[in-house]
C-alpha cells in the first residue's frame, strides 16, 4: 500500500449525501472533476498511442478526437461531466441547486445520484459504492447499475457495490457476489455459482423469489428453515461459521484461495494503473479551483454578507447617535466614555466575525469528505476563506470609521483616521480567523458556541477594558498578555488619546490630558504601542490561520454513536454466527408472564356512544384492542400545482403554474393494502400530502370524501395517521415513552390509563418493538435506533392513535431486504386489522410488491393504472401486456421493475401512445369511477364523522403531556443541560477570581466601575450563551412539533407552555450556581434583602435571554437565520445597557430605546439594589448612592418598577414565542 496512493487509485462513494447546497449539480460534478484531474488517463493514452504506432493501427477519427478532447484540462470538465450527467439521468436538473434544509433543491433520489457521479467523473480505477440506490425507484436503479456495468467493462475498472433490496434484474447485472453475514464471508465468487453453493448445503431458492432476498434470509436463523429441501435428513440450523468453512471447500472457494496465494505479477499491469501522486493536478491549480468555488459560494451566500454590512451600518449609525460630537467633550470625566466608544467599536467588529462559526461548521462534513478523498490539501481550502474575506473586512472597517469617526469627535488628523481604520481591519481579519479556528477545533455547534463564548469573554475581560490592568488579579497576568484584544485596545487608545485634541494640560497636572486618561485606566502611554498592537494582530492572524489549517489537516469528523441493539438482537446475532442457542422455552414463559394479563383484559367496544371494556377469551387480531370506524377515502379530479420555479421561467416557460397532479381520481378502502408507485417525480408523495392535508403551499382543486362525506381536515386528522419518510421523533425519549405520549394525546378521553397501556403493548407486539421499549430514539444517522427500527416506531406512533386511515411514505426506503420484510409484515398486519392503508414505495422486491392488494400507478402526475394486482401480479401484467406494442414480461422478472420500464416517457415516445389516455378509455377506469360513485352515494351507517372537541384531550391534559415529554427530553440531554451548568460554573469562577472582593470596595469611582463591570459581563455573556444554546434544541423540537400539530395532537399553546415551563427550573439552578459563586467571591454586601434582590434580577435576566433565543427560532425558518437575527441585537443591547454610556449621557431622543432595552433594566436593578442605598462617602466627595443616581440615573426607590419590567420582558418574549409558533408555518410541503 505504501507504493501507491490508495485514495487516488480507488474511490469510496458513501451512502450519506454530503454536498454544498448552494452549488448546482453541474458545478458540483465539475469541481470534483477539476480536483481529481486526468493524470493517469494521460499516461494510459500515451501508452495507447505508442502501441498503435507499433502495431500500425490507424484509430477511428471521431474516437481519436474524443479521447484527445477528454485529455484537455479545459475540456475534460465539460465533456466527462456532461457524459456522467447523462448516464445518471441528472441532465434534467444539471443547473438546479443541490439544496439543503435551507435551500430548496433537487430531490433525494437525484441527490443520491450526485453522490455517485461526484466520483465517477474522476480517474479512479476502483469504486466502492455504499447503498447508492437509497431513494431511487427500481427502474432508475437498474439504469444506473447497468451504466456502471458498461463503464466498468469498457474501461476495465473495478466496482464493488452494496445495494438495499436490489431487484432480480439489477442483481443479474453483477458479475460476482460477495455475501457477508455477521462479519464473516459466506460466499465470494461468480453470481452464477452462488445458488449451487447453497444447494450443496441443502437449501434451494424458490421460484419467483428474489435471489438477493433469498441470500440474506438463508443465513438468518429465523428465516433459514423455509428453504431446506434435503428431505433425507431433518433440518438443523447451519450457522454462519459453518457456511464460511464450507465455502473454503467449495470449488469457487478453492479457486479463490489459489488465486490469493499466488503473488501478483506486476509485469502484467501498466505502471500508470496505480496512482503515485497524492493529488490529481498541480497544487497551484487546486488552489485556483478552491478560490473559484469559495468566490462562488460567497456570491450565493451574499445575503449573509450583505446582512453583516447592513448590521455594521445600523450599529454604527446608532453608536454615532449615542456618542454625539457635542457630548464628547475632551475632559477627564469623559475619558471613560471615549474609551467605551473605542472599546465598543472593537467588540462590534470582533463579534461580526461570529458569523464564521456556523458557516464553517456547516461546511466541515463536506470538507472532511473531500480531504479524505484527496481532492485538495487543507491549506488549499483554508487560504481562500481568508484571502476572500479581505475585501469584506476592509468594507466593514471602512464603513464603521466613515460613519463614526468624525461624528463622535475623535482626533481629526487624517493619519490617525487611517491608523484606526487599519487597526479595525486587522481586528476584523483576526476575528474571522479566531472563530474559524474555534469551529475547526470544536466541530460541533453546541461545543463551538460554548467554547467560543467562553474564549471571547476571556479575551474581552482580560483586554484592559472595562477592568483595568492594575485591578486584575496577578494570576491572570499571563492571559492579559495573551489576549489579542489587549493589544488592539491599547493600540486604538494610544492612537486617539495621544492626538492633538488630548495634548492640553489641565490645571494642577503636569501631563497631557490624554496621557492622564490612559494612565488612570491602566493603559500604556508609549506611542509605539500602536505599532506593537498592529504587529501583534498580524501575528495572531498568522497564528489562527495556521491553527485553522492544522486543525483541518489532523482532526477528523466526530465519530457517530452506535445504533441501539436490543438484547434479543444480540442473541440472534450470536446464534446466527455460532449456531449456539439458549432455552427458548424459558424466554417464552417470561414473555407470557409479562404480557399474560393483557390477554385477559379484553378489548373495547363502542356502545351508545360510550367506550366500554368487553372481556374476550382470545384476541384474533393484534392491535384491535380498541374499536375504530372502517372508513374509505375517495378523490376525484385532484389537481395540484405550484408557482412556476424561476429556473424554468428563465428557460422560456411562460406559464405561471407548474402542474404536479393532473386530474387524479381513485378510492382507497378498508382492509385493502394499496401501493402508490411511479418513477421519481411522478407525484406519489405529493398525492399523499394532498389527501392527508399536509400541503402548506400550492393550489389544490378537486373533491375528497371520507366514507361518502366531504373531508374536513380537523376531523380527518383525528381519524388518520401519516407515517412520514423522514422519521421525525423527539430524540431523548424512549420507544415506549414515544408511544405513550402519542396515545395519551390522541386516544379519546374515555380510554383510561390502564387500557391505554394495554393498547400500546399490543401495538408494540404488532410492529415488533417490544424488545426495544427502553431504547432512546436518538437522532437520525447519529445515535439511537437503526433505520428499520425508526421506521417501525414511526408506524407505531400512528397506530397507537387508533386511526382508520393510514398513509405511509416510503416505509421501506433505506432498509435492506430483511429489514424491509419486517416493516412490510408490520404494514400488512396493520391492513389486516381492517384499516385503510396506503403506501408509496420505490423499489420493492417481488415478495414485497405482491404483498399489496391494489396498485395506484402514477406517471407525470396522472394515473395510468388503478386496480388490483392479482395473484403473482397477474391482473396488472395482463392489463399492460394488452396494450399494443408493450413487450411481455420475462420469466422471474420483477413485475414492479417491468411495469416501470414499459411505462416510461421514453417508451411512450417510441410506441406513440399515452398511457394516461389509454387508462381513461379502459374498463378499469370505468370500474373505478363506478366504485367512487358507489362509495359516495352510499355513505356508511355512521353519521358525518365528527367530534365534540377539536382535540382528543383537554387543554390541561395537553399541557401536562407536553411538559412530561419536554421534561424527559431535557433531563436526558446532557450536551445542553450539563454544558450550560458547566459553562455557568466556569464563568462564575473566572468572574469571581477576576473581580475578587471588588464589591466591598466603595471608596473610588474606579472601584464602583469595576464592580459594575462584573455585573455587565455576567449579564451579557451568560445571557447570550443561554440564548444561543437553546436555539438548536428548540429547532430540533420544532420539527417534531410540526409533525405532531399536523396530526391534531395538541394546539400550539400547550407546546409553548411546556417549552417555557421546562426551562424555568434549569435556569433557576443556573442562577443559584452563578449567584452563590459570584456574590460571595466578589464580596457584595451580605444582607438577605440585597442577596434576594440580586438573585431575583439575575434569574429573570437569564430567563428572558433564554426566552429571547426561543422566540428568535420561532420567528425564523431555521436555526442559522435565528442566530444571525438574535446576534444583531446583542450589540445594541450592550450599547444601551447604561454601562458604556449612562442613561444621563444619552441624547433625549434616544432614551426611549434604553427604556425598552432589557439589559438596561437588569443593570438598573442590580446596581440600584446593591449601591442605590449605600451612604458611604467617596474619595471625591458625595455618597455612593448619590453618585449612582447622578451618573447612571439609578434610584433605589424605583426597584419595584424595575421588578415589574423584568417580569414584563419575560411575558412579552413568551407571548411572541407562543404566537410565532402558532401563526408562522415555515414547513414547506
Could you tell me which residues come within 8 angstroms of residue 858 by beta carbon, excluding any fewer than 6 positions away? Answer: 664, 676, 677, 678, 682, 683, 684, 687, 864
- The residue with cell 488579579 is 473
pLDDT given for residue 1228 in this prediction? 66
Contacts of residue 411, defined as CB under 8 A and 6 or more positions apart, other chains included, come to 496, 499, 500, 501, 502
Return d(Cα 63, Cα 944) in angstroms, integer: 71
Which of 785, 853, 837 shows the shortest CA–CA distance to 814?
785
Whether the CA torsion 460, 464, 467, 471 is positive or negative: it is: positive
Q: Which residue has the cell 392527508?
A: 692
The pLDDT score that the predictor gives to residue 14 is 84
pLDDT at 600: 34
Q: What is the 3-state secondary structure (H, E, C) of 969-996?
A: HHHCCHHHHHHHHHHHHHHHHHHHHHCC
Q: Which own/partner pairs from 1124-1132 qualify as long-range (CB within 8 Å, at least 24 positions apart)?
A: 1124/304, 1124/307, 1124/355, 1126/1027, 1126/1028, 1126/1031, 1127/351, 1127/354, 1127/355, 1127/1028, 1128/307, 1128/311, 1128/314, 1130/351, 1130/1020, 1130/1024, 1131/315, 1131/344, 1131/347, 1131/348, 1131/351, 1132/315, 1132/318, 1132/1157
Distance CA 1133, CA 348 (A): 12
Start and end residues for every CATH 3.40.50.300 domain found in the chain = 1-161, 630-937
First to last CA, the chain: 49
Q: How far is CA 1184 from CA 337, 994, 1069, in A?
A: 20, 23, 32
pLDDT at 42: 46
Secondary structure class of 467 (helix, strand, coil): coil
Architecture of the domain defined by 1-161: 3-Layer(aba) Sandwich (3.40)
Q: What is the 8-class DSSP label of residue 1148?
A: G
**What is the per-residue pLDDT across 1009-1061, written as a single tens digit (0 to 9) for each?**
888 888 888 888 889 888 988 888 888 888 888 888 888 888 899 999 999 99
State the pairing for strand pair 126-130/10-13.
parallel
Can you give the pLDDT at residue 160? 93
Residues of the chain with pLDDT under 50: 39-44, 73-76, 326, 583-621, 623
CA angle 834, 835, 837 (to 5 degrees): 130
What pLDDT score was predicted for residue 917? 92
Measured between alpha carbons, how far is 1217 from 1211 in angstroms, rounded to an integer?
Answer: 10
Maximum separation of any 2 CA atoms in the chain, in Å: 118
Whole-number pLDDT of residue 1090: 92
User: 1: how many CB neighbours lie within 10 A of its CB?
Assistant: 6
Confidence (pTM): 0.77
d(CA 241, CA 580) in angstroms, rounded, equals 11
630-937, what's its fold?
Rossmann fold (3.40.50)
Report pLDDT digits (tens) over 560-603: 555 555 566 666 666 666 666 554 434 444 443 444 333 333 33
Closest CA to 735 of 784, 698, 688, 782: 784
CB 880, CB 178: distance < 8 Å: no
User: Rounded CA gap, 583 and 562, in Å?
Assistant: 29
**With contact defined as beta carbons under 8 Å apart, do 1074 and 1098 qualify?**
yes
CA atoms within 13 A on the CB side of 1110: 30
Which region holds residue 56: left if phi is over 0, alpha if psi is between -120 and 50, else beta? left
- The predicted pLDDT at position 1061 comes to 95
> What sign does the CA torsion over 405, 406, 408, 410 have?
positive
94/959 Cα distance (integer angstroms):
48
Taking the C-alpha atoms of residue 869 and residue 1165, their distance in angstroms, rounded to an integer, is 74
Rg (CA), the chain: 35
Angle at 24 between CA 23 and CA 29, to 5 degrees: 95
Distance CA 988, CA 1080 (A): 11
Amino acid at each position: 500500500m505504501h507504493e501507491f496512493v490508495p485514495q487516488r487509485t480507488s474511490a469510496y462513494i458513501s451512502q450519506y449525501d454530503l454536498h454544498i447546497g448552494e452549488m448546482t449539480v453541474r458545478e458540483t460534478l465539475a469541481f470534483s472533476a477539476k480536483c481529481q484531474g486526468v493524470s493517469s488517463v494521460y499516461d494510459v493514452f500515451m501508452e495507447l498511442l505508442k502501441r498503435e504506432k507499433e502495431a500500425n493501427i490507424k484509430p477511428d477519427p471521431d474516437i481519436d478526437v474524443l479521447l484527445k478532447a477528454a485529455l484537455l484540462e479545459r475540456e475534460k470538465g465539460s465533456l466527462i461531466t456532461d457524459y456522467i450527467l447523462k448516464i445518471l439521468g441528472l441532465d434534467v436538473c444539471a443547473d438546479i441547486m443541490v439544496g439543503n434544509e435551507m435551500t430548496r433543491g433537487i430531490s433525494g433520489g437525484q441527490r443520491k445520484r450526485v453522490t455517485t457521479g461526484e466520483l465517477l467523473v474522476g480517474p479512479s480505477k476502483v469504486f466502492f459504492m455504499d447503498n447508492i440506490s437509497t431513494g431511487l425507484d427500481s427502474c432508475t436503479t437498474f439504469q444506473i447499475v447497468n451504466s456502471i456495468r458498461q463503464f466498468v467493462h469498457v474501461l476495465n475498472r473495478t466496482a464493488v457495490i452494496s445495494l438495499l433490496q436490489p431487484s432480480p434484474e439489477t442483481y443479474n447485472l453483477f458479475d460476482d457476489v460477495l455475501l457477508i453475514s455477521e462479519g464473516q464471508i459466506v460466499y465470494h465468487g461468480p453470481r452464477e455459482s452462488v445458488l449451487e453453493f447453497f444447494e450443496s448445503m441443502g437449501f434451494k431458492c424458490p421460484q419467483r423469489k428474489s435471489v438477493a432476498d433469498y441470500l440474506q434470509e438463508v443465513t438468518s436463523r429465523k428465516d433459514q428453515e423455509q428453504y431446506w429441501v434435503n428431505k433425507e435428513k431433518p433440518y438443523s440450523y447451519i450457522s454462519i461459521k459453518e457456511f464460511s468453512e464450507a465455502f473454503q471447500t467449495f470449488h469457487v472457494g478453492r479457486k479463490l484461495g489459489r488465486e490469493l496465494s499466488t503473488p501478483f505479477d506486476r509485469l502484467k499491469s501498466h505502471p500508470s494503473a496505480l496512482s503515485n501522486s497524492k493529488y490529481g493536478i498541480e497544487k497551484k491549480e487546486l488552489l485556483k479551483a478552491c478560490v473559484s468555488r469559495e468566490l462562488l459560494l460567497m456570491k450565493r451566500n451574499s445575503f449573509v454578507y450583505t446582512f453583516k454590512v447592513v448590521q455594521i451600518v445600523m450599529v454604527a449609525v446608532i453608536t454615532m447617535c449615542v456618542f454625539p460630537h457635542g457630548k464628547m467633550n475632551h475632559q477627564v470625566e469623559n475619558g471613560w466614555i471615549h474609551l467605551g466608544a473605542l472599546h465598543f467599536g472593537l467588540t462590534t467588529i470582533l463579534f461580526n466575525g461570529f458569523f464564521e462559526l456556523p458557516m464553517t461548521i456547516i461546511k466541515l462534513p463536506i470538507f472532511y469528505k473531500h480531504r479524505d478523498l484527496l481532492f485538495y490539501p487543507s491549506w488549499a481550502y483554508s487560504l481562500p476563506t481568508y484571502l476572500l474575506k479581505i475585501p469584506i473586512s476592509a468594507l466593514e472597517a471602512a464603513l464603521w470609521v466613515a460613519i463614526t469617526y468624525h461624528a463622535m469627535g475623535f482626533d481629526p488628523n487624517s493619519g490617525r483616521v487611517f491608523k484606526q481604520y487599519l487597526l479595525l481591519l486587522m481586528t476584523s481579519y483576526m476575528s474571522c480567523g479566531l472563530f474559524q479556528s474555534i469551529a475547526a477545533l470544536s466541530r460541533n455547534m453546541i461545543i463551538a458556541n460554548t467554547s467560543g463564548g467562553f474564549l471571547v469573554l476571556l479575551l474581552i475581560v482580560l483586554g484592559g477594558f472595562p477592568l483595568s490592568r492594575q485591578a486584575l488579579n496577578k494570576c491572570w497576568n499571563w492571559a492579559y498578555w495573551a489576549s489579542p484584544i489587549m493589544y488592539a485596545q491599547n493600540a486604538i487608545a494610544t492612537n486617539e488619546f495621544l492626538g492633538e485634541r488630548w495634548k492640553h494640560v489641565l490645571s494642577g497636572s503636569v501631563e497631557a490630558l490624554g496621557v492622564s486618561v490612559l494612565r488612570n485606566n491602566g493603559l500604556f502611554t508609549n506611542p509605539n504601542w500602536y505599532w506593537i498592537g498592529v504587529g501583534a494582530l498580524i501575528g495572531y492572524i498568522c497564528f489562527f490561520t495556521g491553527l485553522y489549517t492544522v486543525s483541518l489537516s489532523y482532526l477528523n469528523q466526530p465519530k457517530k454513536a452506535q445504533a441501539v441493539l436490543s438484547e434479543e438482537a444480540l442473541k440472534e446475532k450470536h446464534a446466527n454466527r455460532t449456531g449456539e442457542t439458549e432455552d427458548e422455552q424459558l424466554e417464552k414463559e417470561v414473555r407470557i408472564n409479562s404480557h399474560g394479563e393483557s390477554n385477559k383484559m379484553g378489548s373495547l367496544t363502542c356502545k351508545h356512544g360510550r367506550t366500554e371494556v368487553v372481556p374476550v377469551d382470545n384476541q384474533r387480531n393484534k392491535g384491535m384492542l380498541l374499536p375504530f370506524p372502517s372508513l374509505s377515502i375517495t378523490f376525484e379530479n385532484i389537481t395540484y400545482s405550484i408557482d412556476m420555479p424561476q429556473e424554468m421561467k428563465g428557460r422560456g416557460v411562460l406559464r405561471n403554474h407548474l402542474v404536479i397532479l393532473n386530474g387524479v381520481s381513485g378510492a382507497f378502502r378498508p382492509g385493502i393494502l394499496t401501493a402508490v408507485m411511479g418513477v421519481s417525480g411522478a407525484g406519489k408523495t405529493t398525492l399523499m400530502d394532498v389527501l392527508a392535508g399536509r400541503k402548506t403551499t400550492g393550489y389544490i382543486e378537486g373533491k375528497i370524501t371520507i366514507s361518502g362525506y366531504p373531508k374536513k381536515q380537523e376531523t380527518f386528522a383525528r381519524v388518520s395517521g401519516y407515517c412520514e419518510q423522514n422519521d421525525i421523533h423527539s430524540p431523548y425519549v424512549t420507544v415506549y415513552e414515544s408511544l405513550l405520549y402519542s396515545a395519551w394525546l390522541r386516544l379519546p378521553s374515555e380510554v383510561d390509563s390502564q387500557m391505554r397501556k394495554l393498547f400500546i403493548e399490543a401495538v408494540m407486539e404488532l410492529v415488533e418493538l417490544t424488545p426495544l421499549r427502553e431504547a432512546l430514539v436518538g437522532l437520525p444517522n447519529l445515535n439511537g435506533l437503526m433505520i428499520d427500527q425508526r421506521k417501525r416506531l414511526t408506524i407505531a406512533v400512528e397506530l397507537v392513535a387508533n386511526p382508520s386511515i393510514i398513509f405511509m411514505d416510503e416505509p421501506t426506503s433505506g432498509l435492506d431486504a430483511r429489514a424491509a420484510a419486517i416493516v412490510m409484515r408490520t404494514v400488512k398486519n396493520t391492513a389486516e386489522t381492517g384499516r385503510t392503508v396506503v403506501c408509496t414505495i420505490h423499489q420493492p422486491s417481488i415478495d414485497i410488491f405482491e404483498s399489496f392488494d391494489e396498485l395506484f400507478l402514477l406517471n407525470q402526475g396522472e394515473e395510468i393504472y388503478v386496480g388490483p394486482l392479482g395473484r403473482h401480479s397477474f391482473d396488472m401484467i395482463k392489463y399492460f401486456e394488452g396494450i399494443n406494442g408493450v413487450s411481455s414480461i420475462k420469466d422471474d422478472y420483477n413485475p414492479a421493475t417491468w411495469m416501470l420500464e414499459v411505462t416510461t416517457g421514453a417508451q411512450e415516445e417510441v410506441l406513440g401512445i399515452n398511457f394516461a389516455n389509454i387508462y381513461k378509455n379502459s374498463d378499469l377506469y370505468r370500474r373505478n369511477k363506478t366504485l367512487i360513485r358507489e362509495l359516495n352515494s352510499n355513505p356508511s351507517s355512521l353519521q358525518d364523522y365528527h367530534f365534540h372537541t377539536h382535540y382528543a384531550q383537554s387543554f390541561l391534559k395537553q399541557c401536562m403531556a407536553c411538559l412530561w415529554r419536554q421534561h424527559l427530553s431535557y433531563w436526558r440531554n446532557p450536551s445542553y443541560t450539563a454544558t450550560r451548568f458547566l459553562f455557568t460554573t466556569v464563568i462564575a469562577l473566572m468572574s469571581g477570581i477576576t473581580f475578587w472582593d471588588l464589591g466591598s470596595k466603595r471608596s473610588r469611582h474606579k472601584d464602583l466601575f469595576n464592580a459594575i463591570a462584573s455585573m455587565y459581563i455576567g449579564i451579557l455573556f451568560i445571557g447570550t450563551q443561554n440564548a444561543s444554546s437553546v436555539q438548536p434544541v428548540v429547532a430540533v423540537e420544532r420539527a417534531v412539533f410540526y409533525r405532531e400539530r399536523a396530526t391534531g395532537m395538541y394546539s400550539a399553546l400547550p407546546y409553548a407552555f411546556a417549552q417555557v415551563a421546562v426551562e424555568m427550573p434549569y435556569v433557576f439552578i443556573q442562577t443559584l450556581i452563578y449567584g452563590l459563586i459570584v456574590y460571595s467571591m466578589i464580596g457584595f454586601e451580605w444582607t438577605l434583602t440585597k442577596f434576594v434582590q440580586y438573585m431575583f434580577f439575575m434569574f429573570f435576566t437569564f430567563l428572558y435571554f433564554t426566552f429571547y433565543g426561543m422566540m428568535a427560532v420561532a420567528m425564523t425558518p431555521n436555526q442559522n437565520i435565528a442566530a444571525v437575527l438574535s446576534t444583531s441585537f446583542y450589540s445594541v443591547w450592550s450599547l444601551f445597557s447604561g454601562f458604556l454610556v449612562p442613561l444621563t449621557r444619552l441624547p433625549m431622543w434616544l432614551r426611549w430605546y434604553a427604556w425598552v432595552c432589557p439589559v438596561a433594566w437588569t443593570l438598573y436593578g442590580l446596581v440600584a439594589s446593591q449601591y442605590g442605598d449605600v451612604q458611604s462617602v467617596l474619595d471625591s466627595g458625595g455618597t455612593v448612592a448619590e453618585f449612582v443616581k447622578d451618573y447612571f440615573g439609578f434610584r433605589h426607590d424605583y426597584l419595584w418598577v424595575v421588578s415589574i419590567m423584568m417580569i414584563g420582558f419575560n411575558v412579552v418574549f413568551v407571548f411572541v414565542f407562543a404566537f410565532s409558533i402558532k401563526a408562522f408555518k415555515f414547513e414547506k410541503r
